[in-house]
């Protein structure tokens, strides 16, 4: 699979979707920057991408350390400003098996990564992209952004924030030659989704998700959401009166 981008930065590359995206973009003539925290998984992925012909740099970084993130971005914009940035790193938390609720510590960590580090990443790269007059930024949100699921309140809130931010940035940056795309996957096989309670209909492999994301980014679609039945269903939840949506979620065993 190829695209016209030459330098691609993927955060959360050591995970399922990030790793599949890295391999989808790995090709001769492409420089791929892989970020994660797990050095072993990043290095293994880097070898796979090199075998596919790409040049690779692996960056081990905890993105919730915003000062370190900003320092790294400053160095990056001076050396090799990416053409395509995929802000993919994220975590999920839930109310727990006993319905005990989310701890403040976990909520804080989730907000630091899913929202603050994502906005800091974009904020650190946009000025240089505007100056250059080109760039593409893909923000990995979720279908969970359409309507809050009782089992994962903070996760849904964080992904709704990313959806709104991406839509706003797309409008703002269009006239600067910068494309912004919001990606809203349904259930995709990964450690994260395996640890999530509740029904997981229409689950996709990470490779299938990556292939759909790459195509959507090539077409510069504002919203890349899949799979179709879950996309339609969750969108409908956001459009219906809230009392109907909550009743529908309970019928489908999503009452948490
Ligand atoms: N899987 C799904 O069903 C699904 C559905 C909708 C949206 N999404 C979104 O897709 C994205 C990728 O999810 P995934 O399913 O591929 O999950 P995953 O396999 O668990 O991967 C998560 C990635 O995030 C990285 N990460 C976690 N905490 C980090 C931190 N503090 N600093 C830097 N990196 C950190 C992990 O790095 P290390 O492992 O190296 O720590 C890993 O690379 C997430 O934003 C998720 O919300 C997933």
Looking at the chain, how many residues does it have? 256
For residue 140, give the ligand 1 atom closest to its CA: 45
Q: HSE, CB side, 13 Å, CA atoms: give it for residue 95.
A: 15
Q: pLDDT tens digit string along 40-72?
A: 999 999 999 999 999 999 999 999 999 999 999
Of ligand 1's listed atoms, the one at least distance from the Cα of 36 is: 40
pLDDT at 17 over 60: yes
The structure tokens listed for 237 are 């939840």
**Ligand 1 centre distance from Cα of residue 176 (Å):** 30
pLDDT digits (tens, 9 = 90+) for 200-213: 999 999 999 999 99
For residue 194, how far is its CA from the centre of ligand 1 (angstroms)?
12
Q: Tokens in use for 122?
A: 């974009």
| Pocket probe mutation, ligand 1, options 10, 13, 15, max atoms within 8 Å of Cβ | 15
Residues sharing a CB contact under 8 Å with residue 137, sequence separation 6 or more, in sequence order: 84, 85, 87, 122, 125, 126, 129, 166, 169, 173, 178, 179, 180, 181
Is residue 89 in contact with ligand 1, taking CB distance under 6 Å? yes
Domain annotation for the chain: domains and CATH numbers:
7-251 (3.40.50.720)
pLDDT, tens only, 88-111: 999 999 999 889 999 999 999 999
Entry pTM: 0.97
Residue 226 Cα, ligand 1 centroid: separation in angstroms? 17
Distance 91 CA to ligand 1 centre (A): 5
**Coil vs helix vs strand at 3:** coil
Q: Could you give the dihedral angle defined by the CA atoms of residues 19, 21, 24 and 28, in that order, rounded to the nearest 10 degrees?
A: -80
Whether 148 shows a pLDDT value over 90: the answer reads yes
What whole-number distance in Å separates Cα of residue 153 and Cα of residue 155? 6
């Amino acid at each position: 699979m190829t695209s016209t981008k030459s330098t691609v930065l993927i955060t959360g590359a050591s995970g399922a979707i990030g790793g599949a995206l890295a391999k989808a973009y790995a090709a001769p003539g492409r420089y791929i920057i892989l970020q994660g925290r797990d050095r072993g998984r990043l290095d293994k992925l880097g070898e796979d991408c090199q075998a596919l012909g790409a040049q690779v740099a692996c960056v081990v970084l905890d993105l919730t350390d915003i000062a370190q993130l900003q320092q790294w971005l400053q160095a990056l914009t001076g050396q090799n400003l990416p053409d395509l940035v995929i802000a993919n790193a994220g975590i999920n938390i839930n109310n727990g098996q006993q319905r005990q609720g989310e701890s403040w510590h976990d909520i804080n960590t989730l907000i630091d990564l899913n929202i603050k580090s994502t906005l800091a990443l974009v904020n650190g790269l946009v000025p240089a992209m505007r100056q250059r007059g080109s760039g593409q930024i893909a923000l990995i949100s979720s279908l969970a952004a359409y309507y809050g699921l009782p089992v994962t309140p903070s996760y849904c809130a964080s992904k709704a924030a990313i959806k709104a931010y991406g839509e706003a940035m797309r409008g703002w940056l269009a006239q600067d030659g910068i494309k912004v795309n919001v990606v809203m996957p349904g259930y995709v096989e990964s450690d994260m989704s395996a640890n999530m309670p509740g029904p997981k209909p229409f689950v996709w492999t990470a490779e299938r998700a990556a292939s759909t994301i790459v195509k959507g980014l090539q077409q510069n679609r504002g919203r890349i959401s899949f799979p179709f039945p879950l996309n339609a269903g969750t969108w409908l939840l956001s459009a219906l009166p809230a009392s109907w949506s909550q009743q529908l979620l309970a019928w489908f065993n999503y009452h948490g």
